[in-house]
Amino acid sequence: MGVDDRSSRLNRSSVPGGRRRFLRLSVGLPVGLSGWLANGCSSPGSGGSTRTGAGPDPTAAAGDAIVVPKVNGGMNVHSLRCLSCAPTDETIDPALVALQLSAVYELGFDGIRIAAPFGDRNTFLSTVAYVRAARAVGIDAVVLLADFSGFTLAHALHGDESRPTVLKMYADVLAIPPEPTAPALGGLGPKGVGRIAFQILNEPAAFLGLPPDVYVQEILNPCFGDLGRIDPRIIVVSAAEVGNKAGPARIRAMLEAGLETTTNRIAYHIYERDVIPLLPSHVRAVVWVTESGVAGIPQHLPWVRDVFPEIRAQLPDVLRIFYYDLFDSDQGVYRILDIQPAGEGYRAVVESTELHDYWADKVGAAAAGRPLVGFSTLIPDVRAYFPTPADAAAFDEAFAEATR
Amino acid sequence: MTSLPLLLLLCFDPNPPASATPSSGVEETTPPETLRYPLGALPVPDFLAPGEPFTLTDILYGLDDQDGTRHSFAARVRFKDWGYLGAETEGERRGLTLMTHRVNAAVFSENGTWDFSGGYRGHRFLLSADALLRGPGDRTWQLEPSLSVLLTSGLELRGRLIADTAQPGPDRRLVTDSGVGVLWQRGARLEMLGEFERSYSTIATGDENQTDRGALSVVAQVGRVELDGQGSVQDVEGRFPRRDYDVAVQARVPITTRLLLEGGSENRIEKGAGELFHEYRGALTWYGRRFTLPRSGRVAERAVALARHAWETGEYELAAFDDDAIRAQRERLSLSGRRPDYREDMTSLYRAQVAERPLPLFGLEGRQTADSVSGETVRVASVFFGVPWPPSLPWRARESSVPFLQVGYQHEWHTTASAIDFRSGVDSMSVTTSLSREMDLVVQWSRIQPSALDVIRGVGVHQRFAASCVFARGR
């Protein structure tokens, strides 16, 4: 219908139906799935693997093994915390967190992008687990400060009184670096853990009705200032605009409104090949493509194999691309894998097998035959990274103050 | 629903279909002296009458209560045969104006900024300049001189500059804007304007954009139809270069002598990226008496004749086709040393204006705009009903009827945040009362639902009330 039909998928995520409150996992994997899900999906002591295929084998214990080489860029992850539970249900199923993060780690991604909605308390808190655990294994976390619906967060970030409160809460809960799970994780944060980045809203014209110049001047600029005072280690990422032909004009309007001086990273979304030459090829900042993907499984591999290099070639400022996405509820569109109940746990079923194998092969090639440390070796129990009562209290306090 | 009453009204239309030439009988059948307004009869003004020594010519009072109550007031007087003096205030903005035969000047101030303008209207050239002194703490000026030359009665060359003593941008440029243009009037039925402009602007990054813009606009009366077209190409050179094309067309088509159909569109396209903006508009208006398009009737003929006469006798005048521009021209010429020569032309033009006065009694309009940069889509539907004076049912309006009351309603549908389809709306009502040709009262009320941006900014549902009273002598 409109120009924004291919706007960001991240704000549209929904959790598919299924089971809830599983504390154990099963690992019945289909043929063709590489080994990265084997141990990664297992709860402690669940044993066995049905790994097949030619991918890397990140099952070795620490010793001469290396952490999985981070060679495949970034991945968009939804903070799935339970299947079919009510929004008011506070359950965070550790198996689901471990399942997605092990996939990200073992497929060699160096960053995740994940939403922490201010208007959805339980999802926000589940994001805490993803962010802390990812960073603990050396993976950067780009936290998207955006609501799935409504204007709660945008309104709070616009207000001069509420904005510092909200941003401080985000920083206090999400930005403190965890202890590394092993030496030489390869992350660029303290002690080799992953860095933290805050992306300020998502596709503001499409999802919030914020014109580009208004977004830069009334939202991003004050957020950038506040975050610099709160914690200068937080990388501020501007919102991207829609990844179709309506996007570049909005990005340009942001740039002409001063975008380069109000953020640490500029973000683009690219969902159409024709958009690439329309985006500014030289800006005075590092560019992250925080969403890029294509609908339809047969197109997945060509998109990553052919279009990603095209993006980097035509937009030299692009240093990182986050594929969209690891898992969502729409079969056969963007996601790489499906997550299904299996026994008392879950299993991951790879849908985009060609793309998965392409990534797995790159990891294998980078490992050069060396054994890889498995995710479950690094993080035997992901609950260690779950939000604490103090985190929940901080959220509640900030929410009450911002919405007063 | 609405077509049935329209058809019925058309059945009562006593006049034959419009012809391409004005009806010579119209003026004689409705001399201005015979018309009755709510305030009574209004004779043809003596346009050359001197002030005694001051004669009030304009009064405007306005009230607007959006974002706090804001009053505006303006008054203007004619001083003997010397000129017009005016004073205006609107909120914090206050100013004085002066117009003589060849010289005009104005000064306004608002919150420490000063805005001066002046002009000299020679025989064949028009020299003018604006000067803006920026606010407290900033003593820099923006200067805008312009020169126009009237080569023939219908051919004008224009040139202008904008200079900024702040010398903005990395190159510390003094001249930030320059442009030339050619205006050609071929009688009343064809007018063309070609312009080229180069401007330099500094974006927030401190970098400079150079914008070249070429535009051509045409207004043509082709038979019974008025066509209006504009096209422009804009090239922006700078850090983020692009080229935009803007095309706008509009047609006004008299279906019968009393029914006017209007339609138009505007599209702005960026090379490679596709459409940035569009507007589509359609309107249907039914009049209580014969309607004449501004470039097709007796008014158009007289306006051209007056302008040509003035040019031939050493005045700098182009033909004007709307009531306000015609009035301003009449005032200028009434200060000329040769003003008695223009009396007959001015009077006959005024009589033609009265004879061809529009009497809109019912109208519908629809409009849709979409801006792909802001992501906002707006649809507008409006309707109005008019009551003539002397009051009567619309289909009983007579040739001697004049506009009296017009009640309008408009609804706007705004869609922002297209991914979530956030909708808001604006309801507006207006009542316009014309007490005479020279005096109007207007009252407007709007109820505005917040857009997505308003919600983020913390703006809720709000209302706006505005009222104004206008007196314009000799309009």
* A144 in any annotated domain: yes
- pLDDT surpasses 60 at B387: yes
pLDDT given at position B34: 87
- pLDDT surpasses 90 at A11: no
Which residue of chain B is at minimal alpha-carbon distance from A155?
B456
Which residue of chain B is at minimal alpha-carbon distance from A148?
B420
Count Cα neighbours of A10 within 13 Å in the Cβ-side half-sphere: 39
The CA-CA-CA angle for residues B448, B454, A6, to 5°, reads: 110
- pLDDT surpasses 70 at B233: yes
pLDDT given at position A401: 95
pLDDT given at position B3: 40
Cβ atoms B75, B89 nearer than 8 A: no
Higher pLDDT, B94 or A20: B94
Q: Say yes or no: B460 contacts chain A, CB-CB below 8 A.
A: no
Q: Which two tokens stand for residue A348?
A: 């991951």
Mean local confidence (pLDDT), A60-89: 86
Higher pLDDT, A261 or A10: A261
pLDDT given at position A83: 85
The least confident of A110-114, A123-127, B395-399 is: B395-399
Please tell me the distance from the alpha carbon of residue A212 to that of residue A247, in angstroms, as a whole number.
Answer: 10
Among B287, B284, B281, which Cα is nearest to B258's? B287
* A63 in any annotated domain: yes
Residue B278 has what DSSP assignment? E
pLDDT given at position A88: 86
pLDDT-derived band at A63 (thresholds 50, 70, 90) equals low
Q: ipTM of the assembly? A: 0.87
- Tens of pLDDT, residues B164-202: 999 998 999 999 999 999 999 999 999 999 999 999 999
Q: CB count, 10 Å around CB of A84?
A: 12
pLDDT given at position B252: 98
Q: Say yes or no: A314 contacts chain B, CB-CB below 8 A.
A: no
pLDDT-derived band at B10 (thresholds 50, 70, 90) equals very low
Sign of CA dihedral B385, B390, B394, B397: negative
Q: Which two tokens stand for residue B419?
A: 């991914």
Q: Give the closest of A151, A206, A280 to B455, CB-based.
A: A151
pLDDT-derived band at A58 (thresholds 50, 70, 90) equals low
Number of domains chain A is built from: 1
Contacts for A229 with CB less than 8 Å, ≥ 6 apart: none
Please tell me the distance from the alpha carbon of residue A206 to that of residue B422, in angstroms, as a whole number.
Answer: 10
- pLDDT surpasses 70 at A47: no
pLDDT given at position B337: 94
Q: Which domain, by its residues, includes A161?
A: 10-402
Q: Say yes or no: B245 contacts chain A, CB-CB below 8 A.
A: no
Q: Say yes or no: A153 contacts chain B, CB-CB below 8 A.
A: no
Q: Give the closest of A159, A205, A260 to B458, CB-based.
A: A159
pLDDT given at position A85: 84
- If you average pLDDT over every residue of chain A, what do you get? 87
A385: left (phi over 0), alpha (psi -120 to 50) or beta: alpha
- If you average pLDDT over every residue of chain B, what do you get? 92
Cβ atoms A296, A333 nearer than 8 A: yes
Residue with tokens 């008014």: B299
- Contact between chains at A205 and B452 (C-beta distance less than 8 A): no
Rounded to 10 deg, the angle between the A121-136 and A389-402 helix axes is 130
Q: Say yes or no: B140 contacts chain A, CB-CB below 8 A.
A: no
- Tens of pLDDT, residues B342-372: 999 999 999 999 999 999 999 999 999 999 9
pLDDT-derived band at B37 (thresholds 50, 70, 90) equals very high
pLDDT given at position B33: 86
Element housing B300 (H / E):
helix B298-312
- Contact between chains at B374 and A205 (C-beta distance less than 8 A): yes
Mean local confidence (pLDDT), A228-242: 97
* A89 in any annotated domain: yes
Q: Which two tokens stand for residue A60?
A: 């070795």
Alpha-carbon gap: B171 to the closest alpha carbon of chain A (Å): 18
Among B8, B270, B71, which Cα is nearest to A245's? B270
Mean local confidence (pLDDT), A244-264: 96
pLDDT-derived band at B29 (thresholds 50, 70, 90) equals low
Which residue of chain B is at minimal alpha-carbon distance from A279?
B240
Please report residues of B whose CB lies closer than 8 A to that of A278: 272-273
Q: Which CATH number is A130's domain given?
A: 3.20.20.80
Q: What percent of chain B shows pLDDT beyond 70?
A: 94
Cβ atoms B313, B333 nearer than 8 A: no
Among A365, A364, A332, A366, which Cα is nearest to A350's? A332
Q: Say yes or no: A182 contacts chain B, CB-CB below 8 A.
A: no
Q: Give the closest of B240, B372, B458 to A255, CB-based.
A: B240
Among A33, A37, A15, A41, which Cα is nearest to A343's? A41
pLDDT given at position A2: 39
Residue with tokens 């409705």: B30
Sign of CA dihedral B31, B32, B37, B43: negative
Please tell me the distance from the alpha carbon of residue B26 to that of residue A387, in angstroms, as a whole number.
Answer: 85
Q: What percent of chain A shows pLDDT beyond 70?
A: 84
Q: CB count, 10 Å around CB of B17?
A: 10
pLDDT given at position B9: 38
Mean local confidence (pLDDT), A153-167: 97
Strands A318-323 and A286-292 come out as parallel
pLDDT given at position A7: 55
- Tens of pLDDT, residues A360-385: 999 999 999 999 999 999 999 999 99
- Contact between chains at A245 and B375 (C-beta distance less than 8 A): no
- Tens of pLDDT, residues B84-142: 999 999 999 999 999 999 999 999 999 999 999 999 999 999 999 999 999 888 999 99
Alpha-carbon gap: A88 to the closest alpha carbon of chain B (Å): 23
- pLDDT surpasses 90 at B27: no
pLDDT given at position A62: 47
Residue B270 has φ and ψ, to the nearest 5°, of -100, 135
Contacts for A256 with CB less than 8 Å, ≥ 6 apart: A213, B203, B204, B205, B209, B240
Among B241, B270, B205, which Cα is nearest to A281's? B241
Mean local confidence (pLDDT), B246-275: 96
Taking CB atoms within 8 Å and a gap of at least 24, the contacts of B457-464 are: B457/A158, B457/A218, B458/A155, B458/A158, B458/A159, B462/B66, B464/B64, B464/B65, B464/B66
- pLDDT surpasses 90 at A201: yes
Which residue of chain B is at minimal alpha-carbon distance from A247?
B373
Note the helical H segments in B18-133.
24-29
pLDDT-derived band at B245 (thresholds 50, 70, 90) equals very high
- pLDDT surpasses 80 at B269: yes
pLDDT-derived band at B144 (thresholds 50, 70, 90) equals very high
pLDDT given at position A8: 60
Residue B207 has φ and ψ, to the nearest 5°, of -85, 165
Q: Say yes or no: B236 contacts chain A, CB-CB below 8 A.
A: no
Residues 363-382 of A with CB under 8 A from B: none
Q: Say yes or no: A149 contacts chain B, CB-CB below 8 A.
A: yes
Q: Give the closest of A11, A205, A280 to B375, CB-based.
A: A205
Q: CB count, 10 Å around CB of B67?
A: 8
pLDDT-derived band at A87 (thresholds 50, 70, 90) equals confident
Q: What share of chain A is helix, strand, coil (3-state, %, to 5)?
A: 40, 15, 45
Alpha-carbon gap: A104 to the closest alpha carbon of chain B (Å): 28
pLDDT-derived band at B67 (thresholds 50, 70, 90) equals confident
* A1 in any annotated domain: no
Alpha-carbon gap: A39 to the closest alpha carbon of chain B (Å): 39
Cβ atoms B234, B212 nearer than 8 A: yes
Which residue of chain A is at minimal alpha-carbon distance from B208?
A256
- Contact between chains at B420 and A245 (C-beta distance less than 8 A): no
pLDDT given at position B68: 86
Q: Give the closest of B205, B239, B417 to A207, CB-based.
A: B417
pLDDT given at position A9: 55
Among B4, B77, B13, which Cα is nearest to B258's? B13
Q: Which two tokens stand for residue B114?
A: 């000063």
Higher pLDDT, B401 or A11: B401
Mean local confidence (pLDDT), B290-295: 96
Q: Which of B278, B453, B457 to mutate to test the interface with A (most CBs of A within 10 A)?
A: B453
- Contact between chains at A149 and B377 (C-beta distance less than 8 A): no
* A2 in any annotated domain: no
Q: Say yes or no: B270 contacts chain A, CB-CB below 8 A.
A: yes
Rounded to 10 deg, the angle between the A162-170 and A221-230 helix axes is 50
Q: Say yes or no: B234 contacts chain A, CB-CB below 8 A.
A: no
Taking CB atoms within 8 Å and a gap of at least 24, the contacts of B179-187 are: B181/B157, B182/B155, B182/B156, B182/B157, B182/B158, B183/B155, B183/B156, B183/B158, B183/B318, B184/B154, B184/B155, B184/B156, B185/B153, B185/B154, B185/B155, B185/B304, B185/B318, B185/B319, B186/B154, B187/B154, B187/B304
Element housing A97 (H / E):
helix A94-106
- pLDDT surpasses 80 at A10: no
Sign of CA dihedral B86, B90, B95, B98: negative
Q: Say yes or no: B424 contacts chain A, CB-CB below 8 A.
A: no
- Contact between chains at B240 and A278 (C-beta distance less than 8 A): no
Residues 117-136 of B with CB under 8 A from A: none
Among A140, A254, A67, which Cα is nearest to B205's? A254
Q: Which two tokens stand for residue B360?
A: 């809109």
Q: Which of B202, B209, B240 to mutate to test the interface with A (most CBs of A within 10 A)?
A: B240
Alpha-carbon gap: B167 to the closest alpha carbon of chain A (Å): 19
Q: Which of A160, A202, A207 to mutate to test the interface with B (most CBs of B within 10 A)?
A: A207
Q: Say yes or no: A205 contacts chain B, CB-CB below 8 A.
A: yes
Mean local confidence (pLDDT), B212-224: 97
pLDDT given at position A3: 37
Sign of CA dihedral A203, A208, A213, A215: negative
pLDDT-derived band at B16 (thresholds 50, 70, 90) equals very low
- pLDDT surpasses 60 at A27: no
Cβ atoms A324, A300 nearer than 8 A: no
